[in-house]
């Protein structure tokens, strides 16, 4: 598994760092002064910086010095993620805007009445003067156009070169591990771990093998939103008493504690009943005034 974050210990001080926020030069210097470790909780396996031979060492990644030093249940231990290695397929890079637009479009597509959808399709047909143009085509077209810039949330522009396409899945299996995917369904429950991570499960039979996971990656990218996840929970609890609550979310399919999850990265990577977390925070601020 790719180490997107590693533990860094220097002068007995420990911190978790997001690898992509550092230059190779910085990481090399840090390695001289301290030590890098596996980011998994309680794991003491040392990791080291390795230069990528594929591109003449222009990029680098972390690798365990000895895989046997990972603790038994560590997600990064090779035995625990064989499947991941096989399937990881960097199919491009993804920006924050792109993910937000893609999730928004999925939510719209999922919740818009079919009649209205037909109507839009026909309108588009007339406009384009051609018979094709599914919602997906249309989305990809706009996504490409509007996301030429923006913070890269996943992937590496210099390696992947192209912008990825976020695939919609009705069902997610372990074959999708390492893929950027989006799903939509009715929420069955929202849980928080003792570390504050959020897990969302679906009522839909087809999505009952997977949870949406809002954890350390989301936290690093969006500390403010992460600290206010309680608003999402409250919004859901209140609304769920009256109606079904629908969620669209997009992120990276992965394993977490031996469960299949879609780990979210971008601020706008989930929408509950058409609202992003930024929207919920805004509503809250207005109401408080
Ligand atoms: Zn480990």
Nearest to 266 by CA among 134, 98, 132: 98
The stretch 90-117 carries a mean pLDDT of: 81
Q: Is the pLDDT of residue 55 over 50?
A: yes
Using the mean position of ligand 1's atoms as its centre, give its distance from the Cα of residue 13 in Å.
19
Q: Is 254 exposed, middle or buried (0-12, 13-18, 19+ CB in 10 A)?
A: buried
Q: What is the pLDDT of residue 154?
A: 82
Using the mean position of ligand 1's atoms as its centre, give its distance from the Cα of residue 167 in Å.
30
Using the mean position of ligand 1's atoms as its centre, give its distance from the Cα of residue 237 in Å.
36
Query: Does the model's pTM come out above 0.75?
Result: no
Q: What is the pLDDT of residue 286?
A: 82
Q: What is the pLDDT of residue 140?
A: 44
Using the mean position of ligand 1's atoms as its centre, give its distance from the Cα of residue 207 in Å.
29
Using the mean position of ligand 1's atoms as its centre, give its distance from the Cα of residue 41 in Å.
8
CA distance 211 to 190: 10
Task: Provide the pLDDT confidence category of residue 35 given band limits of 50, 70 and 90.
Answer: very high
The pLDDT > 90 percentage for the chain reads 45
Domain boundaries, the chain: 5-80, 94-288
Q: Is the pLDDT of residue 1 over 80?
A: no
Q: How far is CA 39 from CA 29, 44, 121, 212, 217, in A?
A: 19, 9, 47, 21, 12
Highest mean pLDDT among 1-5, 52-56, 78-82: 1-5
Q: What is the pLDDT of residue 161?
A: 65
Using the mean position of ligand 1's atoms as its centre, give its distance from the Cα of residue 74 in Å.
5
Q: What is the pLDDT of residue 257?
A: 83
Q: What is the pLDDT of residue 83?
A: 46
E strand spans, 116-179:
152-154, 167-168
Cβ atoms < 10 Å from Cβ of 269: 30
pLDDT tens, position by position, 228-248: 999 999 999 999 999 999 999
Six token digits for residue 227: 């600290």
- What residues are paired with 9 via a beta bridge? 14, 35
The stretch 195-224 carries a mean pLDDT of: 93
Using the mean position of ligand 1's atoms as its centre, give its distance from the Cα of residue 12 in Å.
19
Domain at 94-288: CATH code: 2.40.50.140
- Bridge-based pairing of strands 13-18 and 46-51 is unpaired
pLDDT tens, position by position, 111-126: 877 667 677 777 777 7
Task: Provide the pLDDT confidence category of residue 128 given band limits of 50, 70 and 90.
Answer: low
CA distance 124 to 228: 39
Cβ atoms < 10 Å from Cβ of 117: 13
Using the mean position of ligand 1's atoms as its centre, give its distance from the Cα of residue 211 in Å.
23
Nearest to 184 by CA among 91, 67, 272, 96: 272
Using the mean position of ligand 1's atoms as its centre, give its distance from the Cα of residue 77 in Å.
6
Using the mean position of ligand 1's atoms as its centre, give its distance from the Cα of residue 259 in Å.
17
pLDDT tens, position by position, 135-185: 444 444 444 444 445 788 887 776 666 778 888 888 888 888 888 899 999
Using the mean position of ligand 1's atoms as its centre, give its distance from the Cα of residue 70 in Å.
4
Using the mean position of ligand 1's atoms as its centre, give its distance from the Cα of residue 168 in Å.
31
Q: Is the pLDDT of residue 250 over 70?
A: yes
Per the CB < 8 A criterion, the answer to whether 178 and 84 are in contact is: yes
Q: What is the pLDDT of residue 289?
A: 64
CA distance 160 to 90: 7
Using the mean position of ligand 1's atoms as its centre, give its distance from the Cα of residue 43 in Å.
5
Contacts of 244 (CB under 8 A, 6+ apart): 186, 187, 203
Least confident of 32-41, 51-60, 106-115, 202-211: 51-60
């Amino acid at each position: 598994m790719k180490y997107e974050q590693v533990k860094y210990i220097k002068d007995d001080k420990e911190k978790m760092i997001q690898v992509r926020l550092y230059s190779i030069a910085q990481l090399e210097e840090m390695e001289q002064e301290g030590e890098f470790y596996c980011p998994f909780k309680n794991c003491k396996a040392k990791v080291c910086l390795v230069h990528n031979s594929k591109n003449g060492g222009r990029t680098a990644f972390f690798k365990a010095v000895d895989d046997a030093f990972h603790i038994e249940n560590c997600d990064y231990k090779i035995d625990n993620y064989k499947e991941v290695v096989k399937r990881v397929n960097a199919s491009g890079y993804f920006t924050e805007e792109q993910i937000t637009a893609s999730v928004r479009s999925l939510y719209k597509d999922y919740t818009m009445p079919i009649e209205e959808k037909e109507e839009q399709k026909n309108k588009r047909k007339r406009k384009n003067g051609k018979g094709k143009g599914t919602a997906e085509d249309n989305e990809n077209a706009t996504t490409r156009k509007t996301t030429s810039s923006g913070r890269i949330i996943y992937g590496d522009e210099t390696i992947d070169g192209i912008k990825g396409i976020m695939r919609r899945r009705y069902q997610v299996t372990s074959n999708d591990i390492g893929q950027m995917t989006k799903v939509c369904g009715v929420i069955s429950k929202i849980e928080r771990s003792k570390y504050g991570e959020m897990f969302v499960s679906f009522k839909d039979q087809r999505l009952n093998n997977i949870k949406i996971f809002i954890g350390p990656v989301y936290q690093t990218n969006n500390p403010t939103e992460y600290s206010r996840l309680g608003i999402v929970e409250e919004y859901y609890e209140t609304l769920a008493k009256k109606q079904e609550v629908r969620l669209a979310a997009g992120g990276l399919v992965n394993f977490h504690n031996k469960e299949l999850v879609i780990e979210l990265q971008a601020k706008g990577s989930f929408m509950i009943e058409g609202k992003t977390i930024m929207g919920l925070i805004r509503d809250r601020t207005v109401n408080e005034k």
